[in-house]
Amino acid sequence: MPTLPKPTRLLLLLAALAAVALPASGCGTSSADPERGRELFRQKCSGCHGLAQAGATATIGPNLDHAFASARAAGQGESTIEGVVKAQVEYPRPTNDNPAVSMPPDLVQGQDLDDVAAYVAEYAGVPGAAPPTVPGGPGAQVFANNSCGGCHTLAAANAGGVTGPNLEEALAGQSLASIEKSIVDPNARIAKGFPPNVMPGEYETQLTPEELKQLVAYLAENAKGGGGGSK
């Protein structure tokens, strides 16, 4: 019998432990919200982990599709995978045996952890899983894939987030170059009433050049008076 790779063996061990803990912990209950979990995953986890349904391609930590595909093939169900995710978040193992780049413990907690675990359990390792399709063209799809509506308000995307500024107001009249700058270097000009470092600064690497161009055009078109110039 072939030897399973180390990440898979670890996941299967955690799965066995989680399966024992599930009845007492209440994991897998209907109180979890996977849709909210997707937004939290995009905000908290996508900078390190790959997951196709979240549109996440980072490689610092394990690719969750690859990891949980093996677990699913070994017969693990969603409830057990939820337990695995919770165990890994609460007690993270060093990445590549290097504590300096390991996931910090309790990155999400309480209901947030329930929602993230339910989301990952529903989609990680599922063949063909992909971000949901939205109307509005390719820029709208980039906006949705990256859960921008979880933090920002934008009527065209039916988004009402308040963690970051209302994009219809903040981007009104800005040039395409200025809008792009606000995405790739969000601390360069901070919207009034918001502190620095609210928006992640990794979108220049997380988005392809074409995706960035599409997102900028979409925001310029849908902000009040946006797209005031091309430079």
The per-residue pLDDT for range 113-145, each reduced to its tens digit, is: 999 999 999 999 999 999 889 999 999 999 988
All domains of the chain in start order, with CATH? 6-123 (1.10.760.10), 138-222 (1.10.760.10)
157 within 8 A of 136, measured Cβ to Cβ: yes
150 within 8 A of 43, measured Cβ to Cβ: yes
54 within 8 A of 42, measured Cβ to Cβ: yes
- Mean pLDDT, to the nearest integer, of 177-198? 92
| Residue 165: pLDDT over 70 | yes
Position 100 scores a pLDDT of 59
Contacts 24+ apart (CB under 8 A), 53-58: 53/123, 53/124, 53/126, 53/129, 53/130, 53/131, 54/123, 54/131, 54/145, 54/147, 55/131, 55/145, 55/146, 56/206, 57/206, 58/206
Distance CA 42, CA 153 (A): 17
Residue bearing the bigger pLDDT, 166 or 151:
166
Burial class (CB in 10 A: 0-12, 13-18, 19+), 127: exposed
Containing H/E element for 50?
strand 50-51
The closest of 32, 48, 86, 56 to 147, measured between CA atoms, is 56
- Mean pLDDT, to the nearest integer, of 29-55? 85
Position 23 scores a pLDDT of 41
31 within 8 A of 114, measured Cβ to Cβ: yes
- Mean pLDDT, to the nearest integer, of 65-77? 89
User: Strands, E, within 61-183: which ranges?
Assistant: 153-154, 159-160
Distance CA 58, CA 205 (A): 9
Containing H/E element for 133?
none
Q: Per-residue confidence at 21, pLDDT binned at 50, 70, 90?
A: very low
| Residue 183: pLDDT over 80 | yes
Least confident of 71-80, 103-112, 217-226: 217-226
The closest of 183, 176, 181, 189 to 229, measured between CA atoms, is 176
What SS3 state is found at 129?
Answer: coil
Least confident of 20-29, 43-52, 84-93: 20-29
Q: Per-residue confidence at 112, pLDDT binned at 50, 70, 90?
A: very high
